[in-house]
Homo-oligomer: A and B are copies of this chain.
């Protein structure tokens, strides 16, 4: 079982689905802490319902982003997190000591097939562009915006979606399943990165 830390800023819909998949026995992970920058995040309620410790790290309490991210690193160290799972965390991680200490141990999910449509409202971007296929990307976090090596992608047919909202709802269903599946893979094997290509190299399943 892998110890995971969840970082979330908002409603925590991906956090909630991860908890459901853990309970259903499809994701062999133990959430050890929720870290949030938002004292009002509904994700806090999900943590409390599941007896998961909550650490609030508020940006305004820190003089710099480097100091802010260092605090996050110390919390991750304290809880001995083996994997850091961003679940609607709205800040880019910039602290060099955090990113180096947890290199290839911080993952994020993005509602498009990257490198198409990075940034906010990726589903609306895809809909407005007239795409027939979009999808979900789970990637390692680097200092850029949605730019780290890709771990997993899954296509979603959006050709019959009538609005950007319908597109987002359809993609969200795939997000929920895919994120827990990938977290489970981290409990079963390891990823190696060659250039930008992440390959699952041991364990019983293969992406």
Contact = CB atoms under 8 A, between A and B. Distances in A.
A207 B159 CA distance: 7
Contact of A135 (B114, B129, B155, B195): B155
A154 B128 CA distance: 18
Interface string A115-140: 11000000000011111110100000
Interface stretch (A50-58, A67-75, A145-153): A145-153
A198 interface: yes
A19 B10 CA distance: 54
Given A113-B116, A115-B116, A159-B207, A153 B129 contact: no
Interface in A87-120: 113-116
Nearest to A151: B132
Interface residue tally on A, bucketed by range: 20 to 34
Contact of A132 (B152, B159, B195): B152
A197 interface: yes
A114, A131, A132, A153 interface centre (most CB from chain B within 10 Å): A132
Nearest to A136: B133
Interface in A10-55: none
A196 interface: yes
Given A113-B113, A116-B116, A130 B207 contact: no
Contacts of A127: 197
Contacts of A132: 150-153, 207
A132 B152 CA distance: 6
A197 B162 CA distance: 10
Top 8 nearest A-B pairs by Cβ distance? Answer: A155-B155, A130-B196, A132-B153, A133-B153, A116-B116, A130-B197, A130-B150, A133-B155
